[in-house]
Structure 1
């Protein structure tokens, strides 16, 4: 990754947030005492899951807080657990304090995973599971446990993450298998996390396919270690037998396509053992993760998808560097098993006003005229018409340009490269290449290039 990777993530995240804002797209329950789920749960403090209604769901699982030494373990047991005698698959989740409605969350937000699972089970979209949320350590210790590479912002050298992985596999999982009625086999275990926790989940699961069969990496912080995750996965010679879910919100501005492409190059098959969603409304918080978590849960404990039943199309701008600057369509299919994920292979694009612009087979867009581009998108017999608003992206780029050192002359903008590069802590060469790559979108033209400046003009006719 380019040496200014951190710069790119912060700046491009701002742009993505602006894109969402311009697109127009669009309290805690109390815990009551509950009976113990085991005959003698070690150091267990039990509580009951939220009593708020979930679309008429009658049977609800329970949530209680267990302890393993000094670490809290948040446990969801499915409805009927105390009486049915069955054994269950297990979803392990990092940042356990944030995943249930237990008034223990870090940022006054939670995933409410218990409500999602209760609903999915009643609808017949997934089997009952146990969920084990392992609480994160406080402060910078969380980052040290979750990031397996050197990262100065925490800071960590990566060794604590390996220690945490061994603790998880050798201590947490054996404890859970002994205390609860699990199916103690790798085919019945999933590991999931978000942000730093997603990096840990992906790394732990990928390195230990003998322990886990599925991974849910939700909004992975791909920038850590200056993109080290990609470098390390690229070194892996064998493809593990895993199912992997990846997702990202447009407004998060973190690179995710390179990770998807790398896994595809390893032999993962999209729609079979690799699933990805770009969420057009997604931000880096529990509310967004609540909206998406049903899909990785179904991937793990639900039926396979056979047919698309709904198609939603959006568009977004990616500006992660000269090699990754594009405007693309994002087609999210709702499948008959309840999963929602972005589709790529087999998608048909028909531009209805081709004099205005073009869409290639991967969904990348470029304008030929400064007008809205209308595209018909088709997948498995489902068709959706979508309009890409040219003026919106003019606004986005003009707002971004204000973060540089510029002189405005009507529709012309003179970019001062040296002072802009100093301001953004990058190089003039990198900034020049970036401006040139964005020209390919068809929103502005480069009128003049000097040693220390570039003059661009926005297309008006």
Structure 2
């Protein structure tokens, strides 16, 4: 929550909202999968104090034992998971977001709403942003598992398309995350640049010494936030 959210003088102020998957890994190392959190709250607070972004509300969506199925809209028989991503996306869009908008002072329109995550959470963020462009304009696609189901998300994304008036996309990958993951992110980047050369609300970055873990995402989250919300 923004630092001054509860201040009576801000009672009429509303904020952009960022919905993030794997919410248990975002704010508190004691809850995180590997004992290291993303430090999203700290990154936001630091950028706000430096006047590099405005305040936002971050909604961390705790994952479940069904994460492997819920974080992929398509089934991957080889990896034995996925297929419930569309149901999870509908839950966020039709149940969670309306609840948040009703109970917190959000700017509820798509231009002020983003979705983000890493790995399969990155895959889901790309899917949700393109499947529901009237709900989410911003997409944080961090170390995404684009190789899932034989890269099927890539042609699907190309069919949905990217437009400066409704999409804003940050995508990244660490060079130590494996050849398959790196190849898949480069494939999508190449397709976007080839098919949507006028899409300027887009940034793709690779990080030399970054592995596939919370510590790596913590180290660069501020860059993604500055791109998406920079002032």
TM-score, normalising length from structure 1?
0.47
Q: Equivalences for 1:70-149 in 2 at 5 Å?
A: 77-83=1-7, 84-85=10-11, 86-101=13-28, 103-138=30-65, 141-149=66-74
Shift of 1:172: 0.7
Match of residue 384 from structure 1: none
Q: CA deviation at 1:102?
A: 5.4
**Partner of 1:433 in structure 2?**
none
1:170 aligns with 2:94: yes
- Residue 294 of structure 1 and its aligned partner are, at CA, apart by 1.2
CA–CA separation in structure 1 for the residues paired with 2:140 and 2:73:
17
Inter-partner Cα distance in structure 2 for 1:154 and 1:103: 29
- Asked if the contact 1:239/1:266 (under 8 Å) is kept, the reply is no
| 8 Å contact from structure 2 (residues 29, 36) kept in 1 | no
For the 8 Å contact 1:144–1:154, the answer to whether it is kept is no
What pairs up with 1:157-306 in 2 under 5 angstroms?
A: 158=83, 160-236=84-160, 238-240=161-163, 241-253=166-178, 254=181, 255=183, 256-267=185-196, 269=198, 272-303=200-231
Return the structure number with greater helix share.
Answer: 2
Larger Rg: 1
Contact 1:249 1:283 in 2 (8 A): yes
Q: TM-score, normalised by structure 2?
A: 0.91
The alignment partner of 2:114 has SS state of strand
Point out where structure 1 has 5 or more consecutive residues left out of the alignment. Answer: 1-76, 304-461
> Does structure 1 retain, via aligned residues, the 8 Å contact 2:170–2:228?
no
CA distance in 1, matches of 2:140, 2:197: 15
Is residue 29–residue 35 contact of structure 2 (8 Å, CA) maintained in 1?
A: no
CA distance in 1, matches of 2:127, 2:209: 27
Larger RCO (alpha carbons 8 Å, 6+ apart): 2
**C-alpha deviation, 1:232, in angstroms:** 1.7
Q: Give the Cα–Cα distance (whole angstroms) in 2 for the partners of residues 259 and 198 of structure 1.
A: 13
